Chain A
Amino acid sequence: MNLQNISTREQVLIFIVAFTVIVGGYGLLRYRPALKALSELQANNVKTAERAKNAVIPDEPSEDSSELEEKILIAEKSLAELQLSMDDVEQKLATEEDSQELSLLISDVASNAGVRIREKVPYLVLRVAPTASAAPVAVVDAPKLSKRQQRAANKVAKKRGAVGMGNGGVAVNATAPKEGELIYRLTNELEEARPFQRVTIEGSFAQIQQFVQGLSKLPFMVTVTQIQIELSPLTPPAGFPQPLVTKMILAL
């Protein structure tokens, strides 16, 4: 092929084709990706500059760390002292191992007071805000419990009743106590919720009073958290005073 024979028009066409191929190829394969990368870098720069511009250096803390550490030490010391005191107090609380003995003692107090125990069953109170170390004691509202939860609650109650009360009665679920009530506090504010028993006794006022006094003299802490006294529906024999039926919720 003789190059000299290529006309001007053909030369222009060849140039246009070569220009298109070279410039197009360069633009597509090199310029455009490079420009994109450049734009990303610039955007990144703007972003970084904006971040640096808007960065806020937090105020230097005014507290002295040594003072704070000293406060921690003081708090730890207080905690240790309190824990010692708490241990002493908790000595008066019946453990699971002591429950049968306590149940016997309550029966003994009732016998001595001359009251007749009509009912002594575990009284289950739901722990509202269980701590990590304390598992929920039971549930409160029976209608709200699922069957599985009900079975679990009964299982727990049965276990507690068998061990702690020795009465073999069926546990009853408490209505939810209000915050501030003693039952609520003994359930939720202690590391481990205290067990409760609902005791129904029958006797004269003086006998009931003697029973309550007897409870306060037990070696373990037994507290009457709720009390309800009413006349017995049964008519006494002639010459005998009308007996009183007393329902008590005892915190053990």
Chain B
Amino acid sequence: MSLKSLAQLLPFSRRATSVLVCETDGFTLRGAVISRVGDSLEVLYAARSEEIEFKTAVSEIIAAMRKQGWGGKTAVLLTPGALSTLIELPVAPNSKRPPEQILELVRWELEPLLMQHTTLWAVGRILVGLGYLSEAQATEVLDRQQGRKGVVDANAMEVYSFKRYGEMAIEMGYINHRQMEECLTRQAWLQSSGDDIACGWLAQPAPANTESAEEGHYTWLVCGVNQGMMQQWAAAFAVCGVLLEHLYPLVGCAATAPELVSNATGDVLLIEVHAGLIAGVRVSSGAVIAINLQQSTLKNTLDASLEAYHVLTPPDVQAVWLASALGESDGLEISLTSMLGRQVSQLAIIEGDVTPGMVGAARNALLLPGAVRGCAVSVQGPKLPLWHQIEFRAIAAGLLLLFGVGAAELVLQLRQNVTEAESVRVGKVAAEMDQAVSRVQVRVDAIKKLQDDIKAKNDAVNQLQKRMDLLSIDVPKRSALVLSIFSELSRTVSDEVVMDRFEETPSDGFRVTAWSLTEKSAQQFVKAYQSVMEPMGYKVVDVTVGPQIGRLSLQGYILRLRLVYVQS
């Protein structure tokens, strides 16, 4: 898909591929759907209406087009009510001036010309055009109305000079009321009440080093039309669902023809003849440099054409082209060639019912090469700069939002990617570290388990050894000790000593209490008992001997001692 085709998708930049071109000469309305094929044009459908009411004629044309299969929604109109001419403005073609300012400048220049042009469509001209008056009758009625000498007396002049042209023609018996009404109806095709005018303009690329450009004045091809009339036509098209985009002058549009592209050796002259109007257009370096508009009748078309030629030359031109509708000015090409003594060529006609002006207007509307040589009035007003178009603003705002969201998404995505990459990297490092730790930890755990097993086994061995020692060593030792204590006591106790108390305590060891008849025998017992217990690790301590009455109320001595185990 090319950039151009992409641009076609944008509503504000869309370039139409076909357009309905309508043309009126004030008496008929013809229409043709012209389509662009490459850089050339093709007529798809054509129709013609002879209705008196222009609104009805528009409906009829559009209905005929719809019937033939046309589905478009835009149209342009060529009308004699529009005037195209060249003016010089102190505005450079590439100037960034607001359209309102240029409009005022153009309107200032164009308004008197347009008012003068509008007079061409006076009642008399229309009546002649309709064939209800001859040229002579029209002149006679006008002379009488204006009280020209020799036609009416002085009193009559006062009477007639306040009468309208149509009333005068009726009074003179040239036309009837019906014809007058038809004339007024036809006049509505070309004129409207109100003084506002709508303008269109197009800068013409001035040839280099031209005098006017050096003075700061630039040539602009301008077009003007009565605002009220334009709105009437636009409303008539809108009723049928078609948008009337531009109004073109009836003659002059043929200058967009590619044949008029002059080469470097000279200029080209176009003489466009249509519906009583003759436009002479001089083209130089692809731009219009002069326009001459003539009005004619069938009888003096040749003279008017010659006058247009002579107004625009010298300087001499390289080629002369003639543009006229088929069958409208037969033989004019030959006559001009003969009279001028040079070749006058006829512009090619695409289709019989389509005039060169319609083709030229289509070429301008479809922006084909040469469109710069045609000028139209935009019904919607001067085309706003791109930035001022609401569609552009809407799309720009949408794109701005889209760009913002896209930028945010991009940032998010970038950060996401960076973070995920970091996550992968960190995860890999952590996994490697975990793996290394777990690998060593497995070995540590295995060794620890073995050590724990060893410890448990050793504990079990120690525990068992302890029990073993208890049962096999300590308990028998205890039994032996008890036996020894008894046997040694019985052996060391003399006849003068009797045992009163023998007590084993957890903290004080063995406590022995005895009674002795004499103190000496008590001491002998202590000594003897100490000597026998020492080998067994016991020591006699806390020995006390004191007098006390004993058994059978005998006077004797009480003996107390403790036997404690001494760790060797």
Chain A CB within 8 A of B549 CB: no
Q: Output the least CB separation between A28 and chain B (Å).
A: 13
Give CA–CA (A82, B463) in the complex, Å: 10
Encoded as 1 (CB less than 8 Å from any A CB) or 0, chain B from 460 to 497 comes to 11001111101110110011001100110110000000
Of the listed stretches B101-109, B115-123, B435-443, name the one at the interface; the rest are far from the partner chain. Answer: B435-443
B471: A residues at CB distance < 8 A? 86, 89-90, 92-93, 190, 221
Question: What 10 A-B pairs have minimum CB-CB distances, sorted nearest first?
Answer: A75-B457, A229-B502, A68-B450, A52-B430, A61-B447, A209-B486, A82-B464, A55-B433, A224-B482, A230-B501
Which of B64-72, B175-183, B400-408 is the contact stretch? B400-408
Kindly provide the distance from the CB of A205 to the nearest chain B CB, expressed in whole angstroms.
6
What are 17 A-to-B residue pairs whose CB atoms are below 8 Å? A6-B390, A15-B397, A26-B405, A51-B430, A60-B440, A61-B443, A68-B450, A72-B450, A75-B454, A75-B460, A82-B461, A89-B468, A92-B471, A182-B475, A182-B478, A223-B478, A227-B504
Whole-angstrom distance between the alpha carbons of A11 and B388 in the complex? 11
With A55-B434, A75-B454 given, is the CB distance from A68 to B447 under 8 Å?
Answer: yes
Measured CB to CB, the residues of A under 8 A from B are: 3-4, 6, 11, 15, 18-19, 22-23, 26, 31, 34-35, 38, 41-42, 44-45, 48-49, 51-52, 55-61, 63, 65, 68-69, 71-72, 75-76, 78-79, 82-83, 85-86, 89-90, 92-93, 177-178, 181-182, 185-186, 189-191, 205-206, 208-209, 212-213, 215-216, 221, 223-231, 242, 244, 251
Residues on A with C-beta less than 8 A from B506 are 177-178, 181
**Which of B502-538 touch A at CB < 8 Å?**
502-504, 506-507
Given the known inter-chain contacts A3-B391, A34-B412, please indicate yes or no for A52 contacting B474, CB distance below 8 A: no
One of A23, A186, A212 near B483 (C-beta < 8 A): A212
- Give residues in B with beta carbon < 8 Å to A: 380, 390-391, 393-394, 397, 401, 404-405, 408, 412, 415-416, 419-420, 422-423, 426-427, 429-430, 433-434, 436-437, 440-441, 443-444, 446-448, 450-451, 453-454, 457-458, 460-461, 464-468, 470-472, 474-475, 478-479, 482-483, 486-487, 489-490, 498-504, 506-507, 551
Closest to A51 in B: B430
State the Cβ distance, A129 to closest chain B Cβ, in Å: 12
Query: How many Å lie between the Cα of A6 and that of B393 in the bound state?
Result: 12
Inside 8 A of B483's CB, which chain A residues have their CB?
212-213, 216
Give the A-B pair count, Cβ closer than 8 A: 185
Report chain B residues within 8 Å CB of A44: 423
Distance (whole angstroms) from the CB of A211 to the closest CB of chain B: 10
Q: Are A45 and B416 in contact (CB under 8 A)?
A: no
Give the residues in chain B near A55, CB-CB below 8 Å. Answer: 430, 433-434, 437
Given contacts A49-B430, A68-B447, A75-B458, 14 further A-B contacts (CB under 8 A): A3-B391, A3-B394, A26-B405, A41-B419, A55-B430, A55-B437, A68-B451, A72-B454, A72-B457, A89-B471, A186-B475, A190-B467, A190-B470, A212-B486
Complex alpha-carbon distance, A82 and B415, angstroms: 71
B495 to chain A minimum Cβ distance, whole angstroms, is: 12
- A182 in complex: contacting residue of B391, B468, B474, CB < 8 Å: B474
User: Given A57-B440, A58-B444, A205-B490, A223–B475 Cβ distance below 8 Å?
Assistant: yes
Given contacts A213-B483, A226-B504, A231-B501, contact A52 B426 (CB under 8 A): yes
